[in-house]
Amino acid sequence: MSVLDVRGVRKQFDDHEVLRGVDLSVNQHEVVVLIGASGSGKSTLLRTINLIERVDDGQILLNGDDITDPGMNADSARSRIGVVFQHFNLFPHLRVIDNITLAAREVHGMSKADATERAMTLLVSLGLGDKARDYPDRLSGGQQQRVAIIRAVLTDPELLLLDEITSALDPQLVGEVLDLVRRLKTDGSTILMATHEMSFAREVADRIVFMQGGRIVEQGTPAQIFDSPQEPETVQFLSRVRH
Amino acid sequence: MSTSTSTPSWRPSELELSRRNVRRRATGRSVLIGIVSTIAFAAIVGALIVNTPGWASVKASFFNFEVGAASVPSILVGLWLNIQVLFISAIGVAIFGTLLAVTRSLRGPVFFPLRAAATIYTDLFRGMPLLIVLYLVGFGLPALDIFPRMPAMFWGTIALILTYSAYVAEVLRAGMEAVHPSQRMAARSLGLSHAKTLRIVVIPQGVRKVVPALMNDFVSMQKDVGLISILGAVDAVRAAQIQVAQSYNFTPYVIAALLFVAMSWPMIRLTDWLTARLAKREQIGGVV
């Protein structure tokens, strides 16, 4: 059974159709990378999966549970999914350690001591141990984004959504964030990510999904998509980004 | 962070030293002009007042040292009542104002009646003069004969809480709305409920944004506690009034006024200091 099953999802803002029937599944321990131009629907798809946007049609199943069912508790569905945003969205009034342990303590009922211990282990292993008591604005962008990732994975979510997490970073800081994503893949996380970093997508993805105009145009292994794309739209997009 | 106060690790160049000299001379000149003009202005105003035809009688009836000194103890006793009322009102306003602000920010059609009630409440109590609220609450509510007999200071406190909560709720709501929606989104994405998102993420950040405005409301409340005297509570104003009636001299009013100013002064300075500190933390303005 797949961790995520998106079935015929549609989303419309006013009279602009952003998602025109998307079908996508993500298997356990799989890393699926969404590529496509801005406005192709990647971010909106991630937002509907996280129930930030309500679907206008179709279904989203998380490990078999229909999270688009109105009877489903949206908060508990969101708590099973980790999300990392382009602009980090750390809480500026909370220290790094409190940012990371907030959901564990307030949503998952973990004791403060347990949550802190877990968080510190992760921070130290990433060389951020001395930042635990700092406020986020003291950290560099790369450090903030890595803290945001730790915040998202601390409670072992069933699925991790990464929405262009390196797009707001200076080029020399992108590497440290991508290193952490590589590590999450090695550790067996199930990841659905949107990115503009094509070489990283090629390296880390088990499957590449190319979106355009709110539809999935083509998907396959990185070799299939990057080396021998079948659809003319894919060919055109790749020729532009490689340029 | 600031470059002018920290000791630099380099020896300033001749150019920088000469620039500092020019600035120091300019500052010294400005301070001197400031002092001289202030003294001159005070002297002129003082001379004008002292030379008015009625000054002698005003001086005798408003600035009589003996009457003033004699009135201080009873006015201080009254002021203690004001301080108690202020303390309880501030706590009440913090609670009720926050509840109102949260109610006004509830979303969804289910909460329409609550939201509407809170909106009508804030509109009503921000528009109504505090004096009238005091009369209505202080004389109207006890007349219903459903409450046990309470002292005037109790009803005065209720009236203050009712009025000031409406102002504070609006300030808090503005602060909450100034918190970027992405903060709300990040909190909800972690699985936090709407209520926990408000309590842990939105309200703490929102309050921080409006601290100067909140403290300004507090300073304003500090003097408005004097209005409870109209309900018959023997506070500083009432105590001064009694002294005036006994001595046929207005000096006790001046004493009460000075005591109110003294009471609010630390808070006013603290507000200024906090505002300046917040501005410094933002550090966007530079030297402008």
Nearest-CA distance from B141 to chain A in Å? 43
pLDDT tens across A20-66, in order? 999 999 999 999 999 999 989 999 999 999 999 999 999 999 999 99
Question: Is B208 in CB contact (< 8 Å) with chain A?
Answer: yes
Strands A65-66 and A207-212: unpaired
Cβ–Cβ below 8 Å for A78 and B183: no
Q: Which residue of B lies nearest to A105 if distances are taken between CA atoms?
A: B192
Share above pLDDT 90 across residues of chain A, in percent, rounded to a whole number: 92
pLDDT in tens, B65-105: 999 999 999 999 999 999 999 999 999 999 999 999 999 98
Question: Which of A46, A49, A79 has the most B C-beta neighbours within 10 Å, making it the best mutation to test the interface with B?
Answer: A79
Residue B285 has pLDDT above 80, yes or no: no
Q: Do B182 and A52 touch (CB under 8 A)?
A: no
- Reading phi first (left if > 0) and then psi (alpha if -120 to 50, else beta), residue A127 is in left
Residue of chain A whose Cα is closest to the Cα of B205: A93
Mean pLDDT in residue range A116-120: 96
Place of tokens 């609010």: B264
Write the ipTM: 0.92
Of all residues in chain A, the percent with pLDDT exceeding 70 is 100
Determine the Cα–Cα distance for residues B260 and B237; give it in Å rounded to an integer: 10
Contact A91 B187 (CB under 8 A): yes
* Average pLDDT estimate for A131-151: 94
Mean pLDDT on B149-161: 93
A66-101: pLDDT as tens digits: 999 999 999 999 999 999 999 999 999 999 999 999
**Statement: residue B284 has pLDDT above 80:** no
Report the residue from B190, B205, B208 with minimal CB separation from A79.
B190
Which region holds residue A104: left if phi is over 0, alpha if psi is between -120 and 50, else beta?
A: alpha
Asked if residue A150 lies in contact with residue A123, where contact means CB atoms within 8 angstroms, the answer is yes
Q: What is the pLDDT of residue A81?
A: 97
Read off the pLDDT of residues B194-218 as tens digits, 9 standing for 90 and up.
999 999 999 999 998 898 899 989 9
Q: Please, which pLDDT band fits residue A3 given cuts at 50, 70 and 90?
A: very high
| Per-residue confidence (pLDDT) for residue A62, from 0 to 100 | 97
Eight-class DSSP state of A205: -
Tokens, residue B94: 């913090």
Of A83, A90, A107, the CB nearest to B192: A107
Condensed to tens digits (0 to 9), the pLDDT of residues B245-264 reads: 999 999 999 999 999 999 98
Q: In angstroms, what separates the C-alpha of B190 from chain A's closest C-alpha?
A: 5
Interface contact A102-B192, CB threshold 8 A: yes
CB contact under 8 A, A78 and B187: no
Average pLDDT on B160-184 reads 95
- Residues of A whose CB is below 8 A from B205: 91-93
Residue B1 pLDDT level (bands cut at 50, 70, 90): very low
Of A78, A80, A93, the CB nearest to B188: A78
Residue B3 has a pLDDT of 45
Residue of A nearest to B185 (CA): A52
Count the neighbouring beta carbons within 10 Å of the beta carbon of residue B96: 18
Mean pLDDT for the stretch of residues A204-211? 96
pTM for the full model? 0.83
> Does any CB of chain A come closer than 8 Å to the CB of residue B199?
no
Per-residue DSSP letter, A64: T
Contact criterion met (CB < 8 Å) for B189 and A52: yes
Q: Going by C-beta distance under 8 Å and a sequence separation of 6 or more, which residues neighbour residue B89?
A: B157, B160, B161, B164, B221, B225
Rounded to whole angstroms, the Cα distance separating A128 from B87 reads 44
Q: Determine the length of chain A.
A: 243
Question: Which pLDDT belongs to residue B147?
Answer: 87
